[in-house]
Amino acid sequence: MAVTYNIQADIVNIHSDTPNHKDVFFVDTNVWYWQTYSRASATAQNYQVREYPNYIKKIRSVNSKLFRCNLILAELAHIIEDTEYKIFCAANGYDPEKFPKKEFRHNFPSERNNVTNEIDNAWNTIQQFSSAYSLIIDDPSAIKFITDLKNHKIDGYDLFYLDGVKTNGFKVLTDDGDFATVPGITVFTANLNVIDSARACGKLKIR
């Protein structure tokens, strides 16, 4: 069943939006994954590998600013390795229930080399396309994390990004509907479930 989102953010449909050179975007991990990983289409939906790279191309053409948090590297590396593992299992007749990922990681050096090359290439591109903002994960930020966890239905990685998004006034480029439930931010997305929900409650914005 489709997720029912309580839309609190302002939502912009990237399919019909034209970026402005004054826009400043925070780009979520999955968007970077679809933009930079050579085999992203193995697990992505068609619109994800089409709409988000197209919109980033538009952003760069008008010299809008793209920002990242370097913490996304851990999540990106995990997603790429997981995809390579699934591709390997499917191509070689391995049952993921009986073939642990650790065996893939340790027992197949050529595959491991391929995984690390994919991560390295993706990260190099991300660094070329975007600027990093600083994130300090100390005791006060951990306490705020717990508070935000109770107040927002967002996963752990994204909760660490959320404070930076608000502090820096970033627009959020993401396919993740969780961000759409956070008040006070603007989410740029191609997620039709989020877009339709936003339209129904008057939160879809046309620029």
Return the structure tokens found at 45: 């939906």
Instruction: Supply the pLDDT for residue 86.
Output: 96
CA–CA separation, 134 and 48 (whole Å)? 28
Task: Give the pLDDT confidence of 77-101 residue by residue, as tens digits.
Answer: 999 999 999 999 999 999 999 999 9
Under DSSP, the state recorded for 13 is E
Domain boundaries, the chain: 10-70+131-200
Residue with tokens 């930076």: 164
pLDDT attached to residue 58:
98
**CATH number given to 10-70+131-200:** 3.40.50
* Full-model pTM: 0.94
Per-residue model confidence as pLDDT tens digits over 141-161: 899 899 989 998 998 888 888
3-state DSSP helix/strand/coil % of the chain, to nearest 5: 55, 10, 35
Reduced to 3 states, what is the DSSP secondary structure of residue 10?
strand
